[in-house]
Amino acid sequence: MVKNTGQVQQYYVENSHPAIIDPDEFDAVQVEIERRKNRKSPGRCGDLFAGKLICGECGGWFGRKVWGSYKADKSYRREVYRCNDKYKRKDGKCSTQSLTEEEVKERFLLAFNKLMNNRDELIADCKLAQAKLCSIVDLETKIAEQRRELEVVAELSRKAIHENARTAIDQREFTQRNNGYLKRHRKATERIEELEKEKRKRLAKSQMLAKFISDLKKCPQVLSEFDEGLWLTVIDKVIVATDGTMLFSFRSGTEVSA
């Protein structure tokens, strides 16, 4: 037995059974996993700010640190977020300030409320980006072309095998021809994988923008309390400068300092 890599027609059946995980949610999670992998960001469970805060001086990730935990008097205990690479630099320590959880939340409220001042304009920009940058029409056309290439190669390979089985053919010539078919098949398969990956990326981006727009519409004009779900949904990353200024990068691509 050999793995069918296109020698015989294959079929992909959609909606044959109820999905265990919502397809849109699955695609969004895969993109988020890929995003974190590319960034090599930490991902501590239960930590809202893990993989979000970045040092503006050295580019290191911020992590939660505990001050005064060794003291008998727990009133001295304090949790802060500090650059993980603060003391790892060869040219001296990083001078970026430490931040408390309350400071991060307060700055987020300031940045988000600034963003909401132009909510209608922002929503319009997001819809435009969703329509232009997240379209998959061109990708589906290219994928269809590559799938036709696979069908052509599979048919040529089948005919060659059939001819070789019935007539006397120079085996070196047959091997060379068959290897050419395999090369074409492999090239088309790899191209389909690339296109499918880009398609998933665009669909997830479209879903993310749709979620971003939905959240903006639901939110009050002025946000008075920190919302964990909103933070996780709308914030891509936050760059912390040495003077304490925080640059919030929203998932829509908009940047707001606070």
pLDDT for the residue 45: 53
Note the pLDDT of residue 211. Answer: 81
Does residue 37 have a pLDDT over 80? no
Residue with tokens 């970026």: 96
Give dist(CA 181, CA 200) in Å, integer. Answer: 28
State the pLDDT at residue 164: 82
Q: What's the confidence (pLDDT) of residue 28? A: 65
Residue 190 has pLDDT above 90, yes or no: yes
Q: Residue 183 above 70 pLDDT?
A: yes
- For residues 162 and 208, the answer to whether their CB atoms sit within 8 Å is no
Quick check: 67 pLDDT over 70?
A: yes
Q: Taking residues 202-230, what's their average pLDDT?
A: 85
- pLDDT of 151 over the 90 cut: yes
**H runs (alpha helix) in the chain:** 23-39, 101-116, 119-133, 137-166, 171-218, 228-234
Could you read off the pLDDT of 1-16 as tens digits, one per residue?
888 887 888 888 888 8
Q: Residue 247 pLDDT > 80, yes or no?
A: yes
Strands 246-250 and 235-240: antiparallel
* Model confidence pLDDT, tens digit, residues 133-150: 889 999 999 999 999 999
pLDDT digits (tens, 9 = 90+) for 100-133: 999 999 999 999 999 888 888 889 988 998 888 8
- For position 193, what pLDDT does the model report? 94
Q: What is the mean pLDDT of residues 156-168?
A: 85
Average pLDDT of the residues of the chain: 85
Write the CB contacts of 208 (distance below 8 Å, at least 6 apart in sequence): 28, 31, 251
The pLDDT assigned to 44 comes to 56
Question: What is the reported pLDDT for 39?
Answer: 65
